[in-house]
Amino acid sequence: MSETDINLLIGGPQGGGIDSAANMISRAFALAGYNVFGVREYHSNIKGRHSYIHYRIMKERPRSLKYPVDFMVALDPDTVFEHMDNVGNGTKVIYDSSFDSFELKNARMMNHDTMSRVRSILEEASLTPDMKGISAYLKSKGAEIYSIPFEKLITQNSVDGPATRYYNTLGAAITVAMLGLDEDHMDDGIRYAFRGKDKVIETNLKVVKSGYDYVKSLNLKIDNLEVFERKPRLMLSGNDAVTIGKLMGGLRFQTYYPITPASDESTLLEAHEDVKLLSRENEKLKSAGVVVVQTEDELAAVNMANGAALTGTRSATATSGPGFSLMAEGISFAGMTEIPVVVTFYQRGGPSTGLPTRNGQADLLFALNTGHGEFPRIVISSGDVEECIYDAMKALNYAQRYQMPVIHVIDKNLANTMDLIPTIDPKKVKLIKSEISNEKLIKRYMLDTSNGISPMGVFGRNIFWMTGDEHDELGHVTEDPFIRDRMMEKRMKKLETADSEIPLEDKAILFGDENADITYVTWGSQKGPILDAIEELKKDGINANLLYIKMFEPFPSEFVKKVLGRARLIINVESNMTAQAAKVIRMNTGIEIENNILKYNGRHMTLDEILKATKDIIKKNGYMVVLNNGS
């Protein structure tokens, strides 16, 4: 491989060591100087159903994934069937030779609908619904099958427990060995994946050696990968990045109720909680840290975060669609009482319980309109792991500066994206401190202000009244029509202030040539795949750019209108069915986007399907393409 570009898929049962295998491989390549980018797809049951991780490894920094994959490591027979359409010419399919006798009817953990679809495809190809039939199908697409005696190779090392426990390690080792990366790098990956467990490391290193010896004995190595200089980098998921950003942004109080895919953020915060409890509640905490509270439900989560913010504490909560629904009244309360609270909103497939562990971007309009009545809120979204860090910091800043709820929207795909990013620059975002009044009795909701921002008051320092009812400057309940008008206008004035103060690059960015043939429009995790698509289209002589939207409230109307007003062919790309960002654009600019690339099957968007859809639109113009890659 002159230019290393490896797409790798590891699949198996939920709880079957897929994450560990991915960690081994990603760390091995990272330590060899490569860049690694991946997305984790997992079933919504605790254990057993099919899950997988899709990785891309390059010398340059990848921003997207693509099919067909170059390697598929199957830790169970189901994986081979589940991903029958993700292979192509030259794909190496690796699995245990005991799977050779497997019949599709025995795939007890496979969804019935999936099994029926696979069976139909094989029958149409006059192939039997078993491993023999699926192998023939894969070979017809150019794939190479490697049926390897996993159990024999593992048990020769006198391992503890069943051999299946080490299938992930052996599959990873064989893959890395075939690619030609030195065993030392794989060993380092093992030491990282099982750090702190010396006995486990020792056993797994033996399994790695067996894998490398097997590849060497049969001369299966296909390349000798170059090793590059190591640079300081961080391997993070989107969840990890938001956690780090909140900590750097001065977060001191976080609430949550367990829900996918938001929980990983709060549990990581809990793992690094740095507060020592004292015997007397009114004593000061010995160390400055983050208090993390798992509440009884999302109603309590948002209101507890509101309460913490009223003490002058930087506070936040994190949730997903169903939980955000329950938070609507609490967010409306924060809007009325001007509470600086951050809600990190991890989107997933809905409605209702929907697809609890799958991707979706169908909650943009919900974030913009949640809560009864009209009140200001800032709505921002992130598009890659690195952005998540700095956006989380900015969200806390916005809440403090403008005294309003800030909703930070992230899609599940980004939350579960693993990326190797440059080291963090803590000086990139300067923390904004709240200007808390030093007076005892304050006009918390003072009307005489040019920017809508009244003096900040906190419990324990200032005296003021607070209610969810309409109120006067001191906070007393009022229904006076004159005061009502002025209070509504004062609150909404803060959005104008935010719009004038927040830099344009924090709202929307144009990537590429202003006079491009194609202008993509997107938000969230499609950012990376589209930027890669632009590079690929350039090779075909097609000049494209990207209007990437980060802030939806306040919306950068004039900039968006300017960019789209001179665009030749506009293509909107989203992971929802109703093109919600395009609706927001039309609402704010009057511009209707006719061409849409949409995906709503819950899986991540890939480079290859974006390229194909783009070329279809170029041919037909005025067209909607629905993408369906993924298993």
pLDDT digits (tens, 9 = 90+) for 325-373: 999 999 999 999 999 999 999 999 999 999 999 999 999 999 999 999 9
* CATH value of 505-627 in 3.40.50.920, 3.40.50.1110, 3.40.190.10, 3.20.20.10: 3.40.50.920
Every domain range in the chain assigned CATH 3.40.50.920: 505-627
Q: What pLDDT score was predicted for residue 289? A: 75
Q: Does residue 162 contact residue 109 with C-beta atoms inside 8 Å?
A: no
> What does each C-alpha distance from 290 to 65, 268, 271, 274, 334 come to in angstroms?
35, 11, 11, 6, 21
Q: Locate 236 and state its tokens.
A: 């993070």
DSSP tag of 420: E
Task: Give dist(CA 274, CA 187) in Å, integer.
Answer: 33
Q: What pLDDT score was predicted for residue 1? A: 41
Domain 236-279+286-422 adopts which CATH fold? Answer: Rossmann fold (3.40.50)
List Cβ neighbours of 124 (8 Å cut-off, separation of 6 or more): none
Every domain range in the chain assigned CATH 3.40.50.970: 236-279+286-422
What single string gives the DSSP state of each residue in 394-412?
HHHHHHHHHTS-EEEEEEH
Q: What pLDDT score was predicted for residue 621? A: 64
Q: Locate 238 and state its tokens.
A: 């989107």
| pTM, to two decimals | 0.94
Residue segments in the chain with a per-residue pLDDT below the cut of 50 = 1-2, 275-288
Q: What pLDDT score was predicted for residue 192? A: 87
Task: Give dist(CA 79, CA 631) in Å, integer.
Answer: 9
Helix (H, G, I), strand (E, B) or coil at 602: coil
In terms of Cα–Cα distance, which of 554, 535, 551, 553 is closest to 543?
535
User: Position 523: which residue type?
Assistant: W
Residues present in the chain in total: 631
Every domain range in the chain assigned CATH 3.40.920.10: 5-217
In terms of Cα–Cα distance, which of 521, 602, 616 is closest to 560?
521
Q: What pLDDT score was predicted for residue 279? A: 41
Backbone angles phi, psi at 567, to 5 degrees: -75, 145
CA angle 578, 507, 357 (to 5 degrees): 45
Task: Give dist(CA 2, CA 300) in Å, integer.
Answer: 56
In terms of Cα–Cα distance, which of 431, 229, 396 is closest to 313?
396
b or e along 164-177 (b: 16 or more beta carbons within 10 Å of the residue's beta carbon)? Answer: bbbbbbbbbbbbbb
> What does each C-alpha distance from 492 to 338, 377, 557 come to in angstroms?
11, 9, 17
How are strands ordered across the β-sheet holding 144-148? 144-148, 92-96, 71-74, 5-13, 50-58, 35-41, 417-422, 233-237
Q: What pLDDT score was predicted for residue 160? A: 79
Domain 5-217 adopts which CATH fold? Answer: Pyruvate-ferredoxin Oxidoreductase; domain 3 (3.40.920)
Backbone angles phi, psi at 602, to 5 degrees: 90, 0
What single string gives the DSSP state of each residue in 297-355?
SHHHHHHHHHHHHTTT--EEEEEEHHHHHHTHHHHHHHHHHT--EEEEEEE-B-STT-B
